[in-house]
Structure 1
Amino acid sequence: MERSVEPSFLTGEVKAPPSKSMTQRAIAAALLAEGESLIVNPSYCDDSLAAMSIAVSLGSRVEPGPDSMRITGSRELKETKLNCGESGLAVRLFSPVASLFDAEITVTGAGSLKRRPMTMIEEALRQFGVECATTDGLLPLTIRGPLMGGECDIDGSVSSQLLTGLLMSLPVTENDSVVRVRNLRSKPYIDMTLEVLRDFGIEVSNENYELFRIPGRQKYVARTWEVESDWSGGAFLLIAGAINGNIKVTGLRIGSYQSDAAVLNVLQDAGAAMKITGDTVEILKSDLKAFEFDATEAPDLFPPLVALAAYCKGTSTIRGASRLIHKESDRAAALISEFEKMGIRVEAVNDSLAVTGGHVTGARVNSHEDHRIAMAAAVAALGASGTVHIKDSHCVGKSYPLFFDDLRNAGVVIHE
């Protein structure tokens, strides 16, 4: 679907969407718990729907409601084919969970996920004695457990998501486990995982993010658990306000483990006028200046920060661009090509993107079927000199299905 976003001024109050990352972790924990868990404020984006489907296939009963989701944990395998959609977290989180079963399970995906490398899963699970095979390094994966615990060494330079899957699966195995990690990136995401584990009654020892000791034979405790709002989605709303608005974004937990909460530091450095009261951030259209930021630990901030930098005086530098290759698109290349169409110069310099602020023009842009590219283009359109037409804008459903609705409710003119 193509949507056209007119230059618009945002007003009012918008609640940030629920965190899909935390929702998927909570679904996995509830699946592994005995009894009924209530997940409050869940995300029902495409990635979360994939996780819900996987939980059902692995034996749980999932009852979604408008504001909460009931999950009755069980490990009575119902389906031997798990479809992760386009969710990188789902495939890396639920593959270790699937290895708990003494059955051959096939893990598949769709879209860009079928092009993303999966050898890291194969190599890690084999160290535990699990039968695991990719298809020439890609999906589909075949897995046959049971995972019994033990020791393994993994490389965390590409993603922390496989470590999350291991940390969530190994506590229920028969034996104690040790996981050694090299070059771990996105450490805040592991903090999020450890928070969920603690809340569901699981103990893990973390030694400087390099060695994790996981006692076996633990039991997840079913409980009521509230999903916090998503700083990744909230970042787009906050930057929209700084570009051309006067809005309040609610539901954002200050002090969250989410790495994308660092957007507040960037906005402050760029000169954005903000006021924080509790879980609400009020942000106003501001005269913005160039900034520097290392996004190595928060790669999902690249798209909204490029939109912000387009309106900053001078050249902004965002470091950590090597983290963008294995996303829904080659994000660095997509940002360079699509912002060029809007009159903004984005250059790849070593491991950074250099963005020279200027005059944003109307254009026809391609989302590359990447939800964050589509949202970045929409936010950039708000202060542009003309309409920005976004091809395949439906892809925002992957993480933030109500994104365009929320913009429209804040006064943005959008044509479909």
Structure 2
Amino acid sequence: MLLQMKSVRMSEINGRIAARPSKSVMQRVLAASLLAPGRSRIRNPSFCRDSEAALNAARTLGAKVTKTPELVTIDGGLSPNRQEIHCGEAGLTLRMFTPIAALFDKPIKMIARGTLRRRPMDGIQEVLTSLGCSCTVNGNHPPLTVTGPMRGGCCEIDGSLTSQFLSGLLFALPLTPAGGCIRVTNPQSLPYIDLTLETLSAFGIQVANQDYRLFRVRPNQVYSPAEVAVEGDWSSASFFLVAAALAGRIEMSGLNPASRQADKGITAALEMCGAQVKWTGGILGVRKSKLRGFTFDATQSPDLFPPLVALALNCYSISRISGVRRLRHKESDRGRVLLEEFKHLGARMKIENDSLIIEGGKIHGGVVNSRHDHRIAMAAACAGLKTKKPVTIVGSECVAKSHPGFFSDLAALGGRVQ
């Protein structure tokens, strides 16, 4: 496939933009809507590639889907019409819908493409087997084939890599005859677990959470259909908020200041480095100011690393971002890719233990290969707003995974995008 390229030049950012709908929320609501007999309505839906993958999974497992740009209607009901689910590059869709697929007594194959084919599926086979299912994995990587029906029971999972499989278990176990108890060692991504629990509650499902280390799920529960509005996506919003802190001002609507999304933490990082951050009547405003180095723990919000790197490179002193161990199995080995690709722009960074150390100062333009990682591409675009020479992003089309209109939105705000 021929890679696309975009270039971003020094620009002044100024304007108002609405946050894109959250793909993390959208995928969870789709799973719950599939499992709820009756009609659910999803307002402000997301249609990025990852969300489309979840829509495909829901259809394959029996949901009837009607969609318009403003509304998705789901008639729920478990009745698989094919024995393969194509998950694209959506890690959440694959890991979350695998336990749901294991509710059935026929084999269902979970298929991935692109970078997701290289991402590990640690523990899935062992846990599903302990819950009464058959599961085969291709050398700890997709594709996976699962055969149920899942009976439920107790299991233990390692939460250090991802919470996505845990979310899938929490969606599936309420429908089993035995329910379940899940013991979690080293739980991470706690805000994303909260998103799952919040979605389950909206659809009438009860789960007891004991400090994220033990979850108890009652058996034979019934999902109730619901109407849900998908809130704005803090993950994609973080790049525009950083763009404003670097190169101008922005007002963003559609974000929930009380959101469970982990990447809401971007506002704290912006305040630490000296950017002007203000909420006014539900609108989040960010303005540039003199930026200083900052220290930020991104262990629970690893997707913030790329925009925070673009921010830190333009601060006048050293910044430290901890949680690097969470980056290895993203769409790329994201910590290593940030080091390797941003050095082409003159970035001075290093990894010490679990922290990324960034020396602020001027960076120059250059060429960054996205490595098929949407967040690397968007971070490079933000960096280009402050460089005298343009930043060219090879493989820029990968932004469609989470934000298909990223470059057009950046241009609408004043970004010089070619």
TM-score, normalised on structure 2? 0.98
The alpha-carbon deviation at position 7 of structure 1 amounts to 1.1
Rounded to whole Å, the distance in 2 between the matches of 1:298 and 1:209 is 16
* Pick aligned residue for 2:235 from 216, 232, 236: 232
Q: Runs of 5+ in structure 2 lacking a partner? A: none
Q: Runs of 5+ in structure 1 lacking a partner? A: none
Matched residue, 2:346: 343
Rounded to whole Å, the distance in 2 between the matches of 1:136 and 1:37 is 38
Matched residue, 1:64: 67
* Pick aligned residue for 2:400 from 393, 397, 401: 397
Q: How does 1:256-275 map to 2 (within 5 A)?
A: 256-275=259-278
Rounded to whole Å, the distance in 1 between the matches of 2:169 and 2:301 is 21
Rounded to whole Å, the distance in 2 between the matches of 1:178 and 1:264 is 36
Matched residue, 1:361: 364
Matched residue, 1:46: 49
The alpha-carbon deviation at position 37 of structure 1 amounts to 0.7
* Pick aligned residue for 1:23 from 26, 48, 52: 26
Matched residue, 1:90: 93
Rounded to whole Å, the distance in 2 between the matches of 1:301 and 1:67 is 28
Rounded to whole Å, the distance in 2 between the matches of 1:66 and 1:383 is 35
Rounded to whole Å, the distance in 2 between the matches of 1:119 and 1:310 is 34
SS at match of 2:54: helix
Task: Please tell me the root mean square deviation across aligned C-alpha atoms, in Å.
Answer: 0.8
The alpha-carbon deviation at position 186 of structure 1 amounts to 0.7
Matched residue, 2:295: 292
Q: Letter of the aligned partner of 2:64 in structure 1?
A: R
* Pick aligned residue for 1:411 from 396, 411, 414: 414
The answer (yes or no) to whether the contact 1:343–1:358 under 8 Å persists in 2 is: no
SS at match of 1:51: helix
* Pick aligned residue for 1:156 from 133, 156, 159: 159
The alpha-carbon deviation at position 116 of structure 1 amounts to 0.9
TM-score, normalised on structure 1? 0.99
Q: Does 1:213 align with 2:216?
A: yes
Rounded to whole Å, the distance in 2 between the matches of 1:182 and 1:307 is 33
Residues 221-274 of structure 1: CA deviation (Å, up to 9, x unaligned): 112101110111111111000000111011110011111111111111100012
Residues 170-194 of structure 1: CA deviation (Å, up to 9, x unaligned): 1111122111110000111001100
The alpha-carbon deviation at position 278 of structure 1 amounts to 3.5
Rounded to whole Å, the distance in 1 between the matches of 2:126 and 2:310 is 38
Residues 147-178 of structure 1: CA deviation (Å, up to 9, x unaligned): 11111011101001111000011111112211
Rounded to whole Å, the distance in 2 between the matches of 1:65 and 1:121 is 35
SS at match of 2:123: helix
Q: Letter of the aligned partner of 1:343 in structure 2?
A: G
